[in-house]
Amino acid sequence: MKRFIAYLTLILIFAACKNNKNDKETTNGTDNEKTENTKKITKRDYSINSSNSYSDLFLDSTDVENFIAEKKLNDTLTRRIRSFYNARNYQYAWFASDGVTEQGRSFWNLHQYYTTYNSDTTLDDKALKKKMNALVSVDTLSVKASDKSIANTEITLTEHFIQYILDNYKSGEIKRKELERFVPFKKEEAMSLADSLLTKKHKDNKYYSDVNPAYKFLKDQLQKYFDIAKKGGWQSVDAAQKKIKKGDSSLAISAIKKRLQMTGEMPAGDTTQTFDDQLARAVKTFQISHGLTPDAIITPSLIKEMNVPALKRVEQLLINMGRMRWMLNHTEGNLITVNLPEFVLHVYEGKNKVFDMNVVVGKEGHNTTIFTGNLNQIVFSPYWNIPSNIVEKEILPAMENDPDYLSKNEMEEVGEPVDGIPVIRQLPGPKNSLGKVKFLFPNSYDIYFHDTPAKSLFNKDKRAYSHGCIRLSDPVKMANYLLRNQKEWTPEKIEEAMNSGEEQFVKLKNPIPVLITYYTAWVDEKGMLNFRDDIYGHDANLIQKMFTNPL
């Protein structure tokens, strides 16, 4: 029986390879062409195992072959899929035992955007969309390699990923082996990985960094930090004072000058112990690039940022270069992005940035999710329909301590309890936690933009305080911008609607895509390298999966 199944599998594989004779890479059976096609498939890397792999799940190679045969894939996709999984020793790319990987979520966001806003319907797979939307919306997920449904979804995503690359990049722009590194497959020393990325040469002199500027800018910075780390990094600054200001003198100031000279915020030469104008300018530059108020005052938190080891920065740059691979290729129309660790919203028209806005995002334990949505509606003077988990954990205990809690906070119970938990909403008005307006981009996470009466939070450098939704520092500006082409909505009418106390829904004539991202290192439009804290521990998770002996 086993021999029969193996024989049948070989017949199916052979039939699949015969499919699509017009494919540009199809062989005609000659020895030379067979040799050439063998070169186009990465050899299986048997050195990858459960102790050094990126994902802890592995496919059975027959699952891949059966998928290829059943889908009757053309020769190009067949070779690419085999090569992709050979490079990983048939390790899962998009799933691990704890659910969808970061790369799986990132590609799915890109996939959603592409199938929504592109006329190409090749990748518009309703069954896959239903399956993936259900998987990414779950907070905790346990995945087993033996789950055939997950295995099929895994290989389908790989098929779509390869097809997306083939359709959207010219020949040579993304080499086969480059594509296979989009998803990490083996733990490596960070310095070794950085060295390979920086020294790799291609015969045709074409590189992925040529078609992804954001990736290239980080790669250029990687070279600088790699060189510093290779020489031993920088000395930690030891500052006993709580604050060091312009005009002060101390041994620590000399050490701070040397530290800032190594990364370029300050020109080389001056190592005196006096806090002068040149150091003040350098400190401000460092503060801006690390998301701190540029007041030129050296504090313990600033020293902490300076003392992050150079090797740690190399790891951070490598992680975020990987994230840059999943950036949208947005060239026209409006786009709103929110970079969570930056606590800033950006509005684009094509490639031009229109304005930035400070935001408050979800606090730890109430993380704002990375996803793509479609802003299509504004709600003036909104009710706040309080989520059941907040009612259970916060509202009900408060009501036990104070029977008048609801009336004092302009809240009311509506309808019947759900699963024993009352349904509570907060009325429009000055106490409403959503403020005077909210902006909807429907998603399974129930995340949206909104105003807030708690304006003081926007004065803080680190702004992770919400229950998951994103609070805007200037919602009036956002409302006026979104409705700028709907002439009936004048600034006066918008102001009136925001203060009417009556909930009003307004549909946008031209919905705008919203992209929620997570970059802890990037180069901005001024050419400045930025670093931010890993507020949700996503970097920490990747570091453990990607690197041997991580810091």
Does 455 reside within a domain? Answer: yes
Side chain identity at residue 265, one-letter code: E
Q: For residues 150 and 156, give the distance between their C-alpha atoms in angstroms, rounded to a whole number.
A: 10
User: For residues 98 and 153, is the Cβ–Cβ distance under 8 A?
Assistant: no
- Please list, in sequence order, all residues whose beta carbon lies within 8 angstroms of the beta carbon of residue 189, skipping any fewer than 6 positions away: 547, 548, 549
According to the model, what pLDDT value does residue 119 have?
84
pLDDT per residue as tens digits for the range 303-330: 999 999 999 999 999 999 999 999 887 7
CA-CA-CA-CA torsion sign (143, 144, 149, 153): positive
Q: Which of 185, 218, 253 is the last residue of a domain?
A: 185
Residue among 247, 255, 249, 250 at smallest CA distance from 271: 255
**Rg over CA atoms, the chain:** 27
Q: For residues 333 and 133, give the distance between their C-alpha atoms in angstroms, rounded to a whole number.
A: 25
Strand partners, 540: none
Q: For residues 402 and 387, give the distance between their C-alpha atoms in angstroms, rounded to a whole number.
A: 20
Kindly state the helix (H) or strand (E) to which residue 301 belongs, with its residue range: helix 300-306
Does 322 reside within a domain? Answer: no
pLDDT per residue as tens digits for the range 365-391: 899 999 888 999 999 999 999 999 899
Side chain identity at residue 361, one-letter code: V
Kindly state the helix (H) or strand (E) to which residue 349 belongs, with its residue range: strand 344-349
Strand partners, 352: 349
Task: State CA 170 to chain mean position distance.
Answer: 25
pLDDT per residue as tens digits for the range 448-478: 999 999 999 999 999 999 999 999 999 999 9
Q: Which of 133, 160, 185 is the last residue of a domain?
A: 185
- Report helix angle 126-136 to 102-117, nearest 10: 140
According to the model, what pLDDT value does residue 110 have?
92
- Tell me the helix, strand and coil percentages in the chain, rounded to 5: 40, 15, 40
Does 282 reside within a domain? Answer: no
SS3 530: strand
Distances in Å between the alpha carbon of 85 and those of 100, 185, 267, 359? 17, 10, 48, 41
User: For residues 272 and 257, is the Cβ–Cβ distance under 8 A?
Assistant: yes
Helix (H), strand (E) counts: the chain: 20, 16
pTM of the model: 0.89
Number of domains in the chain: 2
User: For residues 119 and 125, is the Cβ–Cβ distance under 8 A?
Assistant: no
Q: For residues 548 and 551, give the distance between their C-alpha atoms in angstroms, rounded to a whole number.
A: 9
SS3 511: strand
Q: 27: buried, middle or exposed (CB in 10 Å: 19+, 13-18, 0-12)?
A: middle
Does 428 reside within a domain? Answer: yes
Residue among 334, 364, 337, 365 at smallest CA distance from 350: 334
According to the model, what pLDDT value does residue 38 have?
52
What domain range is 518 assigned to? 329-531
According to the model, what pLDDT value does residue 241 have?
78
According to the model, what pLDDT value does residue 351 have?
86
Q: 15: buried, middle or exposed (CB in 10 Å: 19+, 13-18, 0-12)?
A: exposed
End-to-end CA distance of the chain: 52
User: For residues 300 and 240, is the Cβ–Cβ distance under 8 A?
Assistant: no
User: For residues 483 and 500, is the Cβ–Cβ distance under 8 A?
Assistant: no
According to the model, what pLDDT value does residue 39 have?
61
Q: For residues 17 and 76, give the distance between their C-alpha atoms in angstroms, rounded to a whole number.
A: 9
Q: For residues 469 and 385, give the distance between their C-alpha atoms in angstroms, rounded to a whole number.
A: 13
Does 312 reside within a domain? Answer: no
Q: Which two tokens stand for residue 167?
A: 């359709």
- Which CATH number is 382's domain given? 2.40.440.10
Q: For residues 91 and 155, give the distance between their C-alpha atoms in angstroms, rounded to a whole number.
A: 11
Q: Which of 170, 185, 200 is the last residue of a domain?
A: 185
Does 217 reside within a domain? Answer: no
Q: For residues 176 and 211, give the distance between their C-alpha atoms in angstroms, rounded to a whole number.
A: 15
Per this entry, what is the length of the chain? 551
pLDDT lower than 50: segments of the chain? 1-36
Does 140 reside within a domain? Answer: yes
Does 116 reside within a domain? Answer: yes
According to the model, what pLDDT value does residue 25 have?
40
